[in-house]
Amino acid sequence: MDAFPLRPREVFEELSKTVVGQDEAIRELSVAIVKHLVGHPAPNMLLIGNSGSGKTTLMRAVEQFLASRSELSHSANVIRINANVLAEEHQGYGRAVLGRLFANARTQLGANAPMPDLLRSVEHGIVFIDEVDKIRAQVSGEPNVRGIVAQEALLTLMENENVEYTADGWTFVFNSSHVLFVAGLAKEFLLRHSGPLV
């Protein structure tokens, strides 16, 4: 960690220029990001706040900050996915997340980047799923099969499982243990639902 070119304080100060009034969230996220980039275990995070409180803006600022640091190009693979969009994916939710990480790695590292570099970027990505409360196992008291499948697929990724993925004609097995997941949840949802998300 001593030789790593980034400190949580530096991340905090940079993100605070964009997101105002969310110091606690920025502080926690800054520590998690640096731990993640160093390779130390970082817990997945849940950002809870009212609509418009800055969850998406904060993750956009993280993405822009890391992309601006050339020395972090192999480690700064950040994707933002809205849960509503994710629910429309037909290739499978886990594969959709990995596909976006792979496409982003290819954009960042270049079309001719060696496959080991692309795979390392995917396996060390940061995934922000916004409005995760939209992925529900029940809607109006009835089972929502699509929501149940989405929850199971995302939990599989978050629980450090190996997930098979095909890209460029090759099939790879990705271990998601090094991916940092950050989910955004509306505070209004918690106020309306006293029970678990499932």
β-bridge mates for residue 81, sequence order = 129
Question: Based on C-alpha coordinates, what's the Rg of the chain?
Answer: 17
Query: Which amino acid would we find at residue 83?
Result: A
Structure tokens at 19: 């997101």
With a pLDDT cut of 70, the percent of the chain lying above it is 79
* pTM for this predicted structure: 0.82
Dump the DSSP string for the chain.
Answer: -TT-S--HHHHHHHHHTTS-S-HHHHHHHHHHHHHHHHTS----EEEEE-TTSSHHHHHHHHHHHHHT-GGGTTT--EEEEEHHHHTT-SS-HHHHHHHHHHHHHHHHH-TT--HHHHHHHHHT-EEEEETGGGS-SEETTEE-HHHHHHHHHHHHHHTT-EEEEEETTEEEEEEGGG-EEEEEEEHHHHHH--S---
Domains in the chain, CATH or no CATH each: 8-188 (3.40.50.300)
| C-alpha distances out from residue 155 to 48, 94, 145, 198, Å | 18, 9, 15, 12
pLDDT, residue 124, reads: 87
Determine contact, residues 44/182, Cβ cutoff 8 Å: yes
In the chain, what's the furthest Cα-to-Cα distance?
Answer: 53
pLDDT, residue 138, reads: 64
The Cβ-side half-sphere exposure at 138, using a 13 Å CA radius, reads 8
Over range 69-76, report the average pLDDT.
75
Angle subtended at Cα 44 by Cα 159 and Cα 50, rounded to the nearest 5 degrees: 125
At residue 191, does pLDDT exceed 60?
A: no
pLDDT, residue 86, reads: 67
Query: Which amino acid would we find at residue 58?
Result: L
Structure tokens at 131: 């409005």
| Span of 6-15, 90-99, 108-117 with lowest mean pLDDT | 90-99
